[in-house]
Amino acid sequence: MPEDDHLFLGVLGDRPIAAAVRPAGPRTRAVPRNPYLRLFARPGTRAFTAGNLLARLPMGMFGVSAVLMIAGSRGSYALAGAVTATGMAATALAGPWTARLVDRHGQARIAVPAALLAALGSLALVLCVRTGAPDWTLFACYAATATTPNTGGMSRARWAHLLRGDPAALHTANSFEQAADELCFMLGPILAAFLCTALFPEAGTLTGVLLLVTGIGLFAAQRGTEPPVHPAPDRGRPPLREPGIPSLLAVFAATGAVFGSLEVVTIAFADASGHRAAAGAVLALQAAGSCAAGLGYGALRLAGPPERRFPRCLAAMTFLLTLPLLAATATGSLPLLAVALLVAGMATAPTMVTGMALIQRRTPGGRTNEGMTLAVTALLTGIATGSATAGWLIDRFSPAPAYTLAPAAAAIALTLAMRMSHPASGE
């Protein structure tokens, strides 16, 4: 009998009974069945996610806060819109450059000073508005906020590093990140509007600055999950020169036009219906549908490569986007439109999750954040284009027919996706 056994002898009549009792070994922790619980059971993931969510929430706050603050003090929505559009254009130019520095020198070394510079731009904007500075100073200050780091891209880069070799877990992580995007862009405008109207016009911008700086600080402090920095020779070609990336960016731009047009047309439709105050809640329902679909999509075990799933997701989006058009043109009912947008939003997150997965697969490992920031830049470009085109259609026709723009843009994205090459590599 092994020496580490404890032998207990008992006597039942004249027959000895031997019972070997082994010392209790270390307990094995049960693996959660829920894929999201398994995801956040990994060390350090909850900490960097909490900081990232704090830093990401202001992304949905700054634009609305700036519009309310500038329009309230200068009495011009045209000026407010021009200032925010300038900031969006500056972000499209500076975003990939900032992301390239993050990939080259590390998230903590670049994200913190970049966020502080953007925070100074927002604070300078508040000061210029309060002191009645010339209009050109508003453009300069808001353009300085373009250095805001792509927090969603940095978080996805961490997941890609932690979950390399586990595509199922990475799919769940990407789905969570998309749901977090939807949640932040759903809650951000509501929080900004409440702060600016219930407290004072600058409250939304100041709160956003506080959340951004605090969140980036907490996120950057989690060095154990930060992706390693790749030396320049090992970082591969720029993402724009990688096969398939330019065509993917074109798809993202067309998809962004869907989002930009829906926002403008829905606000105009609610205004024409005499319920402008309800526009935010209606748009929030669309984001809520996308958020719920994203979490459900992340819990699925998917077969086949994302190259095959992407056109299917875009086809579903194109079909579902006809529902708001039908609700607006056939009934003119805002409640029915809200339900239609809720259902249509359910195709958004699966499409974005699959598209981001393709970006990650085709971007060199040392340039992950740059590749995802290029996707966000394409989205912003599409949003700006969709917003401007929707405004043109509304002025010349009416809000209801302008809902044709969203399914048309989705159809363009579907056509572009179907023409992309389909690598044979599996997921």
Same domain? For 289 and 217 the reply is no
- Mean pLDDT on 379-401: 80
Same domain? For 287 and 185 the reply is no
Maximum average pLDDT range among 131-145, 286-300, 315-329:
315-329
18 within domain boundaries: no
Same domain? For 245 and 174 the reply is no
Residue 150 half-sphere exposure toward CB, CA atoms < 13 A: 31
Domain boundary among 167, 191, 226: 226
Rounded alpha-carbon distances, angstroms, from residue 206 to 52, 143, 173, 274: 18, 17, 31, 32
Same domain? For 248 and 332 the reply is yes
Same domain? For 244 and 221 the reply is no
- Mean pLDDT on 90-116: 82
103 pLDDT higher than 80 = no
Tokens 């932040």 locate to 184
> How far apart are alpha carbons 29 and 399 in whole angstroms?
57
- Domain span at 267: 236-422
Same domain? For 285 and 160 the reply is no
Higher pLDDT, 266 or 235: 266
Average pLDDT, the chain: 78
Model confidence, pTM: 0.71
At 231, the pLDDT band (50, 70, 90 cuts) reads low
Total number of domains in the chain: 2
Bridge partners (DSSP) of residue 18 are 9
357 pLDDT higher than 60 = yes
320 within domain boundaries: yes
414 within domain boundaries: yes
Choice among 44-58, 74-88, 240-254 with the minimum mean pLDDT: 74-88
Phi, psi of 345 (to 5 degrees): -65, -20
> How far apart are alpha carbons 279 and 89 in whole angstroms?
25
- Mean pLDDT on 63-74: 78
Domain boundary among 177, 193, 226: 226
65 pLDDT higher than 60 = yes
Same domain? For 144 and 279 the reply is no
> How far apart are alpha carbons 262 and 349 in whole angstroms?
16
> How far apart are alpha carbons 117 and 408 in whole angstroms?
39
Same domain? For 309 and 184 the reply is no
284 within domain boundaries: yes
Helix (H, G, I), strand (E, B) or coil at 42: coil
Q: What tokens does 56 get?
A: 């990401």
183 within domain boundaries: yes
Same domain? For 212 and 353 the reply is no
> How far apart are alpha carbons 256 and 378 in whole angstroms?
7
Rounded alpha-carbon distances, angstroms, from residue 41 to 4, 91, 169, 170, 411: 34, 35, 12, 14, 40
Q: What pLDDT shows up at residue 236?
A: 55
160 pLDDT higher than 70 = yes
189 pLDDT higher than 90 = no
Residues 332-359 as b/e (b if ≥16 CB within 10 A, e otherwise) read eebebbbbbbbbbbbbbbbbbbbbbbbb
Same domain? For 280 and 400 the reply is yes
Phi, psi of 7 (to 5 degrees): -100, 120
Q: What tokens does 139 get?
A: 């453009």
Which of 399, 412, 374, 420 has its CA nearest to residue 153? 374
Higher pLDDT, 358 or 316: 316
Total number of residues shown for the chain: 427
> How far apart are alpha carbons 291 and 302 in whole angstroms?
19
Same domain? For 339 and 214 the reply is no
32 within domain boundaries: no
Choice among 42-56, 72-86, 256-270, 347-361 with the minimum mean pLDDT: 72-86
Choice among 87-91, 211-215, 318-322 with the minimum mean pLDDT: 87-91
Residue 321 half-sphere exposure toward CB, CA atoms < 13 A: 27
Choice among 11-20, 69-78, 318-327, 340-349 with the minimum mean pLDDT: 11-20
Same domain? For 219 and 266 the reply is no
- Mean pLDDT on 65-76: 77
CATH number for the domain that contains residue 135: 1.20.1250.20
Higher pLDDT, 6 or 412: 412
Residue range 9-52, pLDDT digits in tens: 343 344 444 444 444 444 545 556 777 787 788 888 888 888 88
Domain boundary among 199, 226, 253: 226
357 within domain boundaries: yes
Whether residue 183 contacts residue 291, with contact meaning beta carbons closer than 8 Å, is answered with: yes
370 pLDDT higher than 80 = no
Phi, psi of 215 (to 5 degrees): -65, -45
372 within domain boundaries: yes
